[in-house]
Amino acid sequence: MQKLYEEVENKNIVKNDLVDLTIGESLKIKAYPLSVLKKDDAFFFIGKENYDKFLFVISAGKENGLLNEFEGELIDAGKDVTVKKCNLSTKNRKAVQKIFPHTVPVVLGLCNSFGCGDRLGVANAGHIRAIKQSSFRPILAQQSIRELTRTNRTPDDVMDAAVWAVLQEGYKDGFGSDADHLKTFEDIDLMLNAGFTMFTFDPSEHVDNEADNYSEDQLKQKLNEIDWSGLQDTSADAAKRYVDMTFNISERLSLTIKESDFLRAYAKYGNAIAHIKKMYDYLASKADKDTFEIEVSVDETESVTSPFEHFFFANELNRLGVKYVSLAPRFIGDFEKGIDYKGDLNLFKTEYEKHLDITKYFGSYKISLHSGSDKFSAYRVIGSLKGAYTHVKTAGTSYLEALRVVAAKEPALFRDILDFCRDLYETEKRSYHVSADINKVKPANQYSDTELIELFNQNDARQVLHVTFGKVLTEKDSSGQFLFKDKIMKCLVENEETHYEFLEKHFLKHLECFK
C-alpha cells in the first residue's frame, strides 16, 4: 500500500483504472489507485468487489482509533493487518470528511464555476475527469428541491455521491455544493443540514410576469401591493433613488430611468427582492457568514430581464445587505432544456455585454446561466468575452448521457424507456421550458440500434427524454419493483468506464467553448 500511495502522491499515476491489490497474506481487492490516502498509520481507498464499491480502511496491527470511526465489516488479512470494509453510507462519508478536508465542500467565491447535477448519483467521477482539464471549478453536489422530489432522493444522497466521487478520483482542488432553487425556510434547513455551501434562492413565485403588459395606471396601483416593510423602504424614497436618475454603467451603457421603468421594475420584482431578503436573513441566522454563498435566480420567469431590471435587482440587494456571489437573469432568446440556445446570437452577445457591464459596475458577483445543458453556441459567445466570471448550471444533460449508455449497451431496455417517455411527454412537459414535437419522435420499434443512439443528437428526442426523468426513475410495477431505475443503474455500473467516457467527452464539449 505504501508504494501505491507514494506513486499517487508523486503523480506517477494519472489514470484511474482499477488495479489488483493483495493485502496481508491473501486478501485480493480491486482498487481505484487515485483514491488511495493515508492518515497516521492507516490507508484508505475505494475498492470494488464484483460491481459493488466499498471504502476500505487498512491498518497495521489490531488497534487503530481511526477504524472505530467507521461502520463496516472487520477482515483479518493476516500478518497483523486489519482491514475494514465499509459501505458508502452517509455516516461513513461524514467520517471521511472529518479526516480529509478536501472531501468537504467549500465556498468557491468569485471564480469560473460549473454545476454538474447528478440525478442518478453515479456521474460525478465523469464530471471530475472533464473539469480537471479546464480552468473551471466544479459544483458537484447540486440538486433542486424539485429534482429531489421527482427522483425520491435526499440531500444526504446527493452529498454522499459527490464526496465518494471526489475520494474515488483523488480530486483535491476543492468543490462546491449547490442547494438549488430554494423557495422556503424549510428548503434552507433541509439542505443546510446536509452540509451544502451554496444556496440558490428562487423567488419566481413572487415575480409578476404580467408587469411588462401593465398600463401606467395599473403599475401605480401595483405599487400599493409591494411588501415595502420587507424592502425596508417606502415608495417615495424608492422613487427618489431611481426616477429621472442616470447611472453611467460603462462607456457603452448608460441608464436613464423614467417613471414607467421604475414602476415596472417594482411591480415585477419588488416582492421577489423582499422574499430574497427574508431568505437571506434566515440563512444568515442559521450559519456563519463565511460558510455559505448565495445565488439569486430570476431566470425561471416568462419575461426577459432588461439591463435596468438587472441593475435594479442587484442595486436593491446591495442596499439591503444581501451578499450574493452570482445572479441568474432571464436572458433574451430561449434557454430550453437539453438543447442548444435558440435565438439571434448577435443580439444575445449585445445584451450579454450589457449584463456583464452591470456585474463589473458592482464588482462583486458572476453571471449564472441556468438550463445550461448543451448551450454550445451561447457559450462560445460568452467565452469570447473577457473580464468577468461565469457560473454554468447543468443537470439534465448528465441524465441524457446515462440514457445514451443504455441505448448503446442495452437497446431493448432503451426502447422500452423511449416508448414510456413518449406516452408521458405531453403531461410532464408542463413545468419545463421545452418545444419538442412528439410527432417527430417515432415509436421505438421503428428505429434501428444505430438510430437509437443518433436520437441523442435530435432536439425533439432529447427533450422528450429529458422532462420525463422523474417518472422513469420512480415508476413502479404492480409488484412494487421499479420499472426502469434498477435496470438503468445496473447497466451503468456494468459499463462504468463507458459511462465516464461519455460524460467526460460531453462535458469537455461544454467547457471547451470557454477557452
Query: What's residue 59's pLDDT?
Result: 87
Query: What's residue 216's pLDDT?
Result: 94
Catalytic (active site) residue 295: yes
424, three cell numbers: 408521458
Please determine, for residue 447, whether its predicted confidence score (pLDDT) is greater than 80.
yes
The answer to whether residues 158 and 105 touch, using CB atoms and an 8 Å cutoff, is no
- Quickly count helices (H) and strands (E) in the chain: 19, 17
Query: What's residue 73's pLDDT?
Result: 94
The answer to whether residues 167 and 105 touch, using CB atoms and an 8 Å cutoff, is no
The answer to whether residues 226 and 235 touch, using CB atoms and an 8 Å cutoff, is yes
Query: What's residue 95's pLDDT?
Result: 97
Catalytic (active site) residue 40: no
pLDDT grade, residue 255 (50/70/90)? very high
pLDDT digits (tens, 9 = 90+) for 58-104: 987 666 678 889 999 988 777 778 899 999 999 999 999 999 999 99
Of 167, 183, 185, the residue nearest 175 (C-alpha) = 167
Residue 264 Rama label (left phi>0; alpha psi -120 to 50; beta):
alpha
Query: What's residue 61's pLDDT?
Result: 66
Euclidean distance between CA atoms 71 and 94, whole angstroms: 11
Average pLDDT over residues 315-343: 96
pTM for the full model? 0.96
User: DSSP string spanning 260-312?
Assistant: HHHHHHHHHHHHHHHHHHHHHHHHHHHS-GGG-EEEEE--SSSS---HHHHHH
Helices (H), 21-80: none
The share of the chain scoring above pLDDT 90, in percent, equals: 88
- Residues written for the chain: 515
Active-site residue (options: 180, 208, 300, 309)? 180
Active-site residue (options: 295, 336, 428, 504)? 295
Please determine, for residue 232, whether its predicted confidence score (pLDDT) is greater than 80.
yes
* Strand 176-182 to 137-144 pairing: parallel
Amino acid, res. 509: K
Euclidean distance between CA atoms 458 and 440, whole angstroms: 9
Euclidean distance between CA atoms 292 and 224, whole angstroms: 34
pLDDT grade, residue 41 (50/70/90)? confident
